[in-house]
Chains A and B, each alone.
Chain A
Amino acid sequence: MSGPFLLSHLVAEAAQRDPAAAAVRSTDGALTYGELDAATARLAATLGGLGVRRGDRVGLYLHKSVAAYVAVHAVLRAGAAYVPIDPLAPPAALAAVATDCGIEVLVSDARHQRLLAELAASGRSPVRCVVGAGPVEGLRTVSGAEVDDADVASWRPPKVLSDDLAYVMVTSGSTGRPKGLMHTHRSGLSYARLAARTYGVRPEDRLANSAPFHFDISTFELFAGPLAGASTLVIAEPYLKLPASLSQLVAEDRSTFWYSVPFLLSELALRGALDQRDLGALRWVLFGGEVADPGVLRTLMGHMPNARFSNSYGPAEVNQCTYWHLPGPPANGESIPIGRPWGDAEVAVVDERRELVAPGEVGELVVRTSTMMEGYWGRPDLDAAAFVHRSLPGGRTSRWYATGDLVRQRDDGVLEFLGRRDHQVKVRGNRVELESVESVLASLDGIDQAVAAVVDVEGSTAVLAGVTARPGAALDLDAALRAVAEQLPPYAVPYRLVPLGPLPLTASGKVDRRAVRADLARRADTGTPIKPVPTEGATP
């Protein structure tokens, strides 16, 4: 067998091999590969009929479901690139992404009707058509029933090449302007092959998909799953907020793979009622996106006796590039290495001048790999900063991605992650640029200066921000929070604003952000309610 060269081949080829094999299941149903292939073709033909062409960007704005899984593969099959949008994104954020990426067609669901109507009424987006949401005033709409009746027989799929655009993962940049990572069929498929090989994914495997589709690790279940002929459980959002229900779902599903950000592992260890769950079917627990807590991993290892645990590392710009299979339960305080590069990736550790550091010295990790993105959508300025050109043995020059992550390479070649070069932080696995939170806050009426920090709350992480009032202005903290929520994704919105007096200054006269952030971390008040809530005595 020659194997696929496009992501859009994955489902069709899995269906040819074994049409009756389970493909995907969620709260809205279950499909075999034969059924998934047919549903994908119907939606792809529908999109083609709406004028979607090779290279177009189609937005996905729907909750996690079998329908969402179908939509990803249908957009690829239609020759377009899918742009997954946070299903909780407010209309203004959706409009910003749609405008930036030039999205005219969205696939959505009925739960988004009201938000879509607001989007249409705002007149601020290029979206002209929505599939799957039911009627929305101001937009052309195509119902699910119409998709079911699509004329697949007379639809001709467009020609697509492996370096055509396949998906754009959008993060919010430091100015709040969307930053789209362009991945091709080649980079996505290369990731799927390396992941399937590294973890030995088999047709009988059952992959538990926890990541939202706008988070890059979801490509493990979306691409490596069908490549291997494995099936995927798409976990609906409500389960991800209730660890006891989540653990029950995964136990009952007999899932064999788990892949998530460490935040969800902490939630499971802390509140997952694991002593009452049988998670013996799990054979791999993969985690990545931020640093994992050794205590949490030890707890989970006790409840998942047959699972191997592996730390995966790689900014979304390169999908993944290194891995570290844990040899056993980690000790308290032990930092988990990010490991060694996998097959088709190589790494170098460089200094500020982009020269190799001496062995064992700290430097920035740069990566060369087939899973690397093409570049940032419409942002040659960002490309120039992100890519480094280095010469290879034999005199060729190649493009490497500069991760911005500081690492040290041990004598045995294993990489240790030490932090960031910039102020980018992670909140529950999501990238947050604190400057972007601060600049949005400081742009609001009445606010003079803002400092944001990531703090620990209730065993989880969240953004906390302190603000100072403009002279003579009164602070309306609730109004400020609402305004921020309209511009930033939910995980970047501070859970609370703290009014601050005059800010401490550094010797050079700048705001001492480090001192303010340390102060905010002390104010996070773990374990106690965040705002005063009525106590039993106060409420009749």
Chain B
Amino acid sequence: MSDLATDLVALIVDEVARTDEPVGPDTDLLLSGIVDSLGVVRIVHWLEERLGIDIDAADVTLDNFQTVDAMVDYASRRSTAAA
């Protein structure tokens, strides 16, 4: 796992998770109830701070946030676009 993926999993397990279910990079975070709507907002804030970017509401979608892998993909697309 990339550093970002490792840190996201840690954030979710330690700070955000509403259940004791195991979390991996490809775990569906939303259907399982691990992350609720408040949790999504916290993850978005964390990513904005960590990456120094603004995340538009329109980007906070299933495609970009359903799993940690999807978030990492999104983050890499954003940093490529900025470079």
Contact = CB atoms under 8 A, between A and B. Distances in A.
A273 B18 contact: no
Given A238-B30, A242-B61, A267-B37, 8 more contacts: A241-B40, A242-B40, A245-B63, A458-B41, A458-B42, A485-B18, A529-B15, A539-B50
Interface in B22-74: 28, 30-33, 35-42, 45-46, 49-50, 52, 56-63, 65-66
A243 B57 contact: yes
B49 A535 contact: yes
Contacts of B61: 242, 244-245, 248
Interface of A: 63, 87-88, 90, 111, 236-245, 248, 267, 270-273, 276, 457-458, 460, 462, 482, 485, 490, 493, 495, 529-531, 533-536, 539-540
Contact of A539 (B7, B32, B41, B62): B7
10 contacts: A88-B33, A241-B37, A243-B57, A244-B58, A244-B61, A245-B60, A276-B58, A493-B18, A535-B49, A536-B49
Contacts of B49: 535-536
A495 B32 CA distance: 18
B72 to A, nearest CB: 15
Contacts of A457: 38
A515 to B, nearest CB: 26
Nearest to B6: A539
A273 B58 contact: yes
A530 B42 contact: yes
Given A238-B31, A242-B30, A490 B18 contact: yes
A531 B45 CA distance: 13
Interface residues of B, number: 35
Contacts of A111: 31-32
A529 B31 contact: no
Contacts of A458: 38, 41-42
Contacts, number: 90
B67 to A, nearest CB: 11
A111 B28 CA distance: 11
A214 to B, nearest CB: 14
B20 A482 contact: yes
Contact of A63 (B31, B41, B42, B59): B31
B61 to A, nearest CB: 5
A277 to B, nearest CB: 9
A530 B63 CA distance: 26
A416 to B, nearest CB: 30
Given A237-B31, A535-B49, A536-B50, A462 B57 contact: no
Contacts of B30: 237-238, 241-242
A88 B32 CA distance: 7
Contact of A244 (B32, B45, B52, B57): B57
Given A111-B31, A482-B20, A536-B52, A242 B15 contact: no
A485 B19 contact: yes
B29 to A, nearest CB: 9
Contacts of B40: 241-242
A516 B26 CA distance: 42
Nearest to A27: B31
Contacts of B32: 111
Contacts of A88: 19, 33
A540 B3 CA distance: 8
B50 A242 contact: no
Contacts of B66: 238
Contacts of B62: 238-239, 242, 245
Contacts of B65: 242
B50 A241 contact: no
Nearest to B44: A271
Contacts of B38: 457-458, 460, 462, 495
Contacts of A531: 15
B17 to A, nearest CB: 10
Contact of A529 (B28, B37, B46, B59): B46
A273 B15 contact: no
Contacts of A462: 38
Which among B19, B37, B59, B63 has the greatest number of chain A C-beta atoms within 10 A? Answer: B37
A238 B35 CA distance: 10
Nearest to B41: A458
Contacts of A240: 37
A84 B75 CA distance: 39
A45 B55 CA distance: 51
Contacts of B3: 540
A111 B34 CA distance: 13
A246 B36 CA distance: 14
Contacts of B60: 242-245, 271
Nearest to A263: B37
Contacts of A63: 31
A495 B35 CA distance: 12
Contacts of A540: 3
A458 B41 CA distance: 8
A531 B30 CA distance: 21
Contacts of B36: 241, 490
Which among A111, A462, A482, A533 has the greatest number of chain B C-beta atoms within 10 A? Answer: A533
Which among A88, A276, A485 has the greatest number of chain B C-beta atoms within 10 A? Answer: A88
Given A460-B37, A534-B7, A535-B49, A271 B18 contact: no
A87 B31 CA distance: 10
B35 A241 contact: yes
A110 to B, nearest CB: 12
A456 to B, nearest CB: 11
